Structure 1
């Protein structure tokens, strides 16, 4: 039995056809802003690993980094060596410029436009997390 073209168009416009089609997986590649709006980080694949560099920083973020000995914040690799560790999850290292240190970290893709970055010490006993948004 053939479905009339009008019925097919109506079902597509109401979302029935879209619900049946597989949706593209969330992708961590892109431009992300931290919650305070003081950093923009561009993520990309570095070989088979995920990494991200600072492409913009507020004057306050640059001053905080300078106080910690980081002379040039723009271009700094904030996210490094992330490996996929599950569906929409990666593990690697996050660099905290105002502390001048790297920490064990996870990235969780919460939605297409939201990621959660966590940095931990003491084998994951103490963690801080931030929700970043796609720009």
Structure 2
């Protein structure tokens, strides 16, 4: 055979698979966007009484309290944490292969720092976990992006 039937089969496959591939990539675009959303910005805790500005710190991520009130202020004062405004709660987070971040979270009302992970659930929500035993036992909160 001179190869003509193979080229025809190749052409048919290419014509059939190209639209399928383009459709698959188009359908996956929203998922790719949520993975590339940035955690940088202002975030409010679930109780609505702590707002943290998350910023780059060199190649790392940090988060500093820019607004505090209500129960968080009372809890910090009771624990002897002193001035909560300006306190760096999120410290030395490094980007991980899964797109999340790993570092330390400072919990003012306990006066301690814990191993922590941050995962961006979608452009408007961060899941922040504080853990003991280097991630074996964790407690998480979902924070909401602020305008």
TM-score when normalising by structure 2: 0.74
What CA distance in whole angstroms lies between the structure 1 residues aligned with 2:105 and 2:136? 16
Match of residue 130 from structure 1? 141
Quick check: which has more Rg, 1 or 2?
2
Give, in angstroms, the shift of residue 59 of structure 1. Answer: 3.0
Give, in angstroms, the shift of residue 68 of structure 1. Answer: 1.2
Q: Does 1:107 align with 2:118?
A: yes
TM-score when normalising by structure 1: 0.81
SS in 2 for 1:63: helix
Give, in angstroms, the shift of residue 86 of structure 1. Answer: 2.2
SS in 2 for 1:86: coil
What CA distance in whole angstroms lies between the structure 2 residues aligned with 1:112 and 1:100? 30
Higher helix share: 2
Q: Does 1:86 align with 2:97?
A: yes
Structure 2 stretches of 5 or more lacking a match? 1-22
Aligned length: 118
1:30-109 matches, cutoff 5 A: 30-109=41-120
Q: CA RMSD in A?
A: 1.8
SS in 2 for 1:62: helix
Structure 1 stretches of 5 or more lacking a match? 1-15
Corresponding residue to 1:28 among 24, 36, 39: 39
Higher strand share: 1
SS in 2 for 1:120: strand
- List per-residue Cα deviations over 1:18-66 (Å, max 9, x = no partner): x487748200000001111111000001111100000111132111101
| Native 8 Å contact 1:26 1:88 kept in 2 | no
